[in-house]
Amino acid sequence: MQPANSFSQPQTTTAPTLRGGQSTRAQALGWYVGPLMLALAASLWWQPPVAEPAWRWGLSWGLGALGGAFLIWRLRLAVRYRALQGAQDAHLPYVTVVVPAYNEGAQVGRTLDSVMRSNYPLHKLRVISVNDGSVDDTWAHIRAAMKRHPGRIEGINCVRNRGKRHALYQGVMRARGRVLITIDSDSEIEVETLRNLVTPFVEDASVGAVAGNVRVLSRQRGALPRMLDVSFTYGFDFLRASQSEVGCVLCTPGALSAYRMDLVEQALPEWLDQRFLGRRANIGEDRAMTNLILRGGWRVVFQRNACVYTEVPARFVPLSKMLLRWARSNVRETLLMTPFVWQALRRRGPDGLTLNYLQQASRLLLTLLFSLPAFWLLLSAPQFVALSVVGALLSALIPALVYAWMRRDVRGALWAFAYSGYALLGLSWIQLYALFTPHHSAWLTRRLPESDPELAAPDRANPREIRSNGAPPEPLARATT
């Protein structure tokens, strides 16, 4: 396979003119506005009931038309999506894989072993694992992995726990090559994952980041992992696939992502010292980096065949904490997207980024406007409970169909309906609570003290200086087997 633009050539960090920009705008306008006009025309033809106020009828139809148009648009994009096949060895760039770990125990060793089994040229692969001040035996397992793969893994032992963003920073300071890959320490990859993940950089010079395909590692642990497996399949194989078709995946997952190294270096100071409403942002580092790359005009795409299997919560409390952390970072980054999305809209007109942003923003707005009235109706009108359950089950239909089609597992798809009811009854409060607390940056599932600015604030350093003299930005215990 010959690359469209050889990645081995010197690259520029100037944002490119996006390939297929006219096609992207056509998709945004034609594939969305067409269904929207049909829905609005139907609303004019269909007369409201006599007892129904006109404003309520119009609002219902308007929201339904917008939602239906978004759904049809996403369906068409998701059906069109095709993952790129892995590039040949000669065209693959030198990459660095960074695996941050905190209190991960033996799992970090399995993660590193899965990386070392990769079908990727060893002379083009550098692996760094960072122990973020764990209080268990995580560092011992990292050292054991280094002994199993002598000379192939560099271990960094941070003496204090400062959070995932700082641990990634430590790895970036020692990274080499043209692509940075980040993998969570509770995740394991397939043999072809790295090759497939890097291929979009080889094929398209306008790609700035690539999102991997996240699946559940241990479905057999209980009902929640099975539910989340369906949710993840919908979120990646459908939502991110549709976003990828217009080059604007909104979040590259922490479990597996790849970035152009020059773009990471360029964004590093702002990303490292990110603040929101006066507080340092300790969560959502993946979404924050994605935003910075999208802001520069680069494409962010999804590779379905770059699979990673990650551990997920099996109990309610850890799950709710994880989802609250994600929801808060989503609120923060959606708000921070607003200026550059509107600048892009004025500069080049509506496109896929505009529509994806509008859908995210509208969901937040609808949550803010209707959550409290909906809770009141649930308490005061028993018939509304039945309507809510029916609505939740209907909303699970598409995730169930996506899972049944992608996994060829009809029985497993039924967990979509279970998760929809579970989310309605136990998790529906999270989005509203996140809207009022987006400035809270506690990790929730880690013991990172939010109130200690010294621990939360990382030391700043120039990446190029670190690479030239090897001086670490903080005291480290480094292992070099």
**Token pair of 444, please?**
């929730």
The predicted structure's pLDDT at residue 303: 98
**Token pair of 432, please?**
């509203």
- Over 50: is that where the pLDDT of 64 sits? yes
pLDDT band at 460 (very low <50, low <70, confident <90, very high): very low
- Over 90: is that where the pLDDT of 166 sits? yes
**Token pair of 359, please?**
């859908």
Domain boundaries 89-314+451-479, corresponding CATH code: 3.90.550.10
The arithmetic mean of pLDDT across residues 250-276, rounded, is 96
Q: Determine what percent of the chain is predicted with pLDDT higher than 90.
A: 63
pLDDT band at 376 (very low <50, low <70, confident <90, very high): confident
With beta carbons less than 8 A apart as the criterion, state whether 171 and 272 touch: no
- Over 60: is that where the pLDDT of 10 sits? no
d(CA 139, CA 158): 10
* H-run or E-run covering 213: strand 207-216
The arithmetic mean of pLDDT across residues 322-331, rounded, is 96
The predicted structure's pLDDT at residue 66: 73
**Token pair of 151, please?**
């000379």
The arithmetic mean of pLDDT across residues 168-195, rounded, is 97
**Token pair of 481, please?**
């087997």
Report the mean per-residue pLDDT for the chain: 84
**Lowest mean per-residue pLDDT among 49-53, 99-103, 116-120:** 49-53
Sign of CA dihedral 330, 333, 335, 341: negative
Q: What are the sequence ranges of the domains in the chain?
A: 22-40+55-80, 89-314+451-479
| pLDDT (tens digit per residue) in 280-296 | 898 999 999 999 999 99
3-state secondary structure of 390: helix
The arithmetic mean of pLDDT across residues 238-257, rounded, is 96
Higher pLDDT, 324 or 459: 324
pTM: 0.85
Higher pLDDT, 331 or 473: 331
Partner residues linked to 302 by β-bridges: 211
Among 336, 381, 7, residue whose Cα is nearest residue 201: 7
d(CA 478, CA 126): 16
Higher pLDDT, 469 or 321: 321
Q: Are strands 299-310 and 207-216 parallel, antiparallel or unpaired?
A: parallel
With beta carbons less than 8 A apart as the criterion, state whether 217 and 310 touch: yes
**Token pair of 441, please?**
């940056």
Cβ partners under 8 Å of residue 283, min gap 6: 325, 328, 329, 441, 442, 443
pLDDT band at 46 (very low <50, low <70, confident <90, very high): low
Q: How many CB atoms lie within 10 A of CB 322?
A: 17
What does the chain come to in residues? 481
Backbone torsions φ then ψ of 291, nearest 5 degrees: -60, -45
- Over 60: is that where the pLDDT of 462 sits? no
Coarse DSSP helix, strand, coil percentages of the chain, rounded to the nearest 5 percent: 55, 15, 30
The whole-angstrom distance between residue 38's C-alpha and the CA centroid of its chain comes to: 33
d(CA 185, CA 173): 19
| pLDDT (tens digit per residue) in 400-416 | 999 999 999 999 999 99
